[in-house]
Amino acid sequence: MTEIVFQVEIPGLPIVQFTRDNPGTRLIFNHINFDQDHFPIKQILTILGTPAQYDKLLFVLPEYYDEVRILRRDERACSVMITLNEEKKAILKGPYEEGLRRIGSDMILRPTVIKDGWMTIGVITLVDVDIGALVREATEFLKGLGIRLRLLHFGEYKPEEHPIGDYEEKLTPKQAEIVKMALALGLYDTPRKCSLDTLAEIFGISKAAAHNRMKAAEKKILSMYFT
């Protein structure tokens, strides 16, 4: 199984804007019901914040959701059952379907977390994913919609083992992932199929940080073979 974790920044979406306007708050979506296309339409949303903060969000939720039923609330959090409005579903479903077309419907969608204006989405799939092609195509598609994407993690899903495994054990997870992505995107091909700028953009870091991370990883890998 393959695990992919990425973040998207969707401008103008009230639930995303809420976390941007209220630093320190966090939204967690647990998906409990899906439509015939495997798109989540019913969820339990937990809002982590103060009552004054989550009351602001509860006020705007009916714009996107037909059902907003409070399950529990206290001084630190509020949990509500929500059902997506059909009209808004048509707007939000496009990017989801685009990703689903590449990953396949035989997947597990992990709880979605929104914090500081970024939506973190985790997927576990049985499909053998061409991560390089997926990231290239998804980035271009979402960019046309004004949505930014950055990759956090990808690799074989092995919850019982070290997340990187084997000889990569000496690399940090971030170092392993940037080298894997560089290989997948063709940074080491001749001629090169991607640039260091592209790699930095995918991981949401500066070009200098990407360069330093790559060099540190490459030094460790070379040291394993030649020392």
**Mean pLDDT across the stretch 142-156?**
81
In whole angstroms, what is the distance from residue 60 CA to residue 189 CA? 49
Helices in 22-145 by DSSP H: which ranges? 51-60, 86-103, 131-144
Give the pLDDT confidence of 30-86 residue by residue, as tens digits: 888 887 777 788 888 889 889 999 899 999 888 888 888 898 888 888 889 899 888
CB count, 10 Å around CB of 208? 10
Domains for the chain: give ranges and CATH numbers.
1-155 (no CATH), 158-227 (1.10.10)
Amino acid letter for position 214: M
Query: Can you give the pTM of this predicted structure?
Result: 0.66
pLDDT digits (tens, 9 = 90+) for 116-147: 999 888 888 877 777 777 788 878 877 887 88
At residue 166, the pLDDT reads 38
What's the rounded Cα separation, in Å, for the pair 84 and 95?
16
| Dist. CA 8–CA 74, nearest whole Å | 29
How is residue 24 annotated by DSSP? T
100: tokens are 């689903």
Between 13-27, 96-110, 119-133, the lowest mean confidence (pLDDT) is in 96-110
